[in-house]
Amino acid sequence: MSQQTTHEQYYVPDQSKWPIIATVALLVTVYGLGTWFNDLKADRAESSGPLIFFVGALLVAYMMFGWFGAVVKESRAGLYSAQMDRSFRWGMSWFIFSEVMFFAAFFGALFYIRYWAGPWLGGEGDKGISNMLWPGFEYSWPLLNTPDPKLYPAPEGTISAWGLPLINTVLLVSSSFTLTWAHHALRKNNRQQLKLGLALTVLLGAAFLILQIEEYVHAYTELGLTLGSGIYGATFFMLTGFHGAHVTMGAIILTVMLVRILRGHFSPEHHFGFEAAAWYWHFVDVVWIALFVFVYVL
């Protein structure tokens, strides 16, 4: 037992096995992925990669359950002071900031291609001399012709902003509202409304993901818009794909929160787990707005 907290004392946890399990889990996961990718690329018939990756992923899941479970238990045992709560808040805020910067790298790549490298390759602007690489290449955005179509076959079309993406925008923005509604209900201790609001949020998130998958299938099978169809496809799928992965993660986190609420966790005063999940969800929502504007509309 670490200190029996008097209120001035900060809770310093005892030794924990979870960090080292997390390290091993991550190492096994990435080693498996790397082996898998390399074997795929080299066309090797047999690969131990998928199995190693699968073991690693299982370990990661086990670690997540264990580590977060331990934190939930400590929190419910009342070990966390208001000061500890602030540490979690700073931690989560800066984690979200790091995610913002991760997306910034891909948005930066998009802007750089659209406003500098693309036009230069088409012969315009300060470095228009790049056009000598593929004389006659004409740049346009969306890029429906690549400089070397043999290596990177151009897509026949792109996704219109005003179809599925617009519906998806409505879905995600609504989900932010339902989540806030649920949060207000939690603060007023209205558990029924809380459950309803949160369940609605998860459903809206799931609906978003289903439509996103439909959009991808459409792009791949009918438009020839793929990861390999030149820089438009690359930026399109990487930006929307990482966003989709974050929506998936967020939906899982919110589902865990729903389960915890069904088990009677959280009080109107203490519910930082819920709040952190909500912050994450709103962040994912804001990223989507940026995607909608810069990837689909403009």
Site for another protein in 38-77 (CB under 8 A): 38, 40-42, 67
CB of 109 to another protein, least distance (A): 6
Site for another protein in 246-275 (CB under 8 A): none
Query: Which of 72, 109, 196, 223 is the binder for another protein (CB under 8 A)?
Result: 109
Dihedral-angle region of residue 266 (phi above 0 means left; psi in -120 to 50 means alpha; beta otherwise): left
Site for another protein in 186-215 (CB under 8 A): none
Q: Are 25 and 56 in contact (CB under 8 A)?
A: yes
Q: Which two tokens stand for residue 230?
A: 């030149």
Using the contact rule CB under 8 A, the part of the chain among 170-178, 191-199, 231-239, 248-256 near another protein is: 231-239
Using the contact rule CB under 8 A, the part of the chain among 148-156, 196-204, 249-257, 258-266 near another protein is: 148-156
Give whichever of 231 and 251 is closer to another protein, judged by the CB atom.
Answer: 231
Residue carrying structure tokens 């960090």? 19
How far apart are the C-alpha atoms of 285 and 259, rounded to whole Å? 22
How far apart are the C-alpha atoms of 46 and 160, rounded to whole Å? 41
Give whichever of 78 and 108 is closer to another protein, judged by the CB atom.
Answer: 108
Q: Is 277 in the site for another protein (CB under 8 A)?
A: no
Q: Are 281 and 250 in contact (CB under 8 A)?
A: yes
How far apart are the C-alpha atoms of 263 and 259, rounded to whole Å? 6
Give whichever of 37 and 162 is closer to another protein, judged by the CB atom.
Answer: 37
How far apart are the C-alpha atoms of 223 and 232, rounded to whole Å? 13
Give whichever of 22 and 295 is closer to another protein, judged by the CB atom.
Answer: 22
Which residues lie below 8 Å from residue 241, measured CB to CB, with a gap of 6+?
none
Query: Which of 18, 208, 281, 288 is the binder for another protein (CB under 8 A)?
Result: 18
| Residue 153 DSSP class | P
Using the contact rule CB under 8 A, the part of the chain among 133-141, 166-174, 177-185, 187-195 near another protein is: 133-141
How far apart are the C-alpha atoms of 193 and 199, rounded to whole Å? 10
CB of 237 to another protein, least distance (A): 8
Query: Which of 75, 169, 226, 240 is the binder for another protein (CB under 8 A)?
Result: 226
How far apart are the C-alpha atoms of 31 and 49, rounded to whole Å? 8
Give whichever of 34 and 157 is closer to another protein, judged by the CB atom.
Answer: 34
CB of 272 to another protein, least distance (A): 13
Query: Which of 50, 66, 224, 228 is the binder for another protein (CB under 8 A)?
Result: 228
Give whichever of 144 and 200 is closer to another protein, judged by the CB atom.
Answer: 144
Q: Return the sign of the alpha-carbon dihedral for residues 231, 236, 241, 242.
A: positive
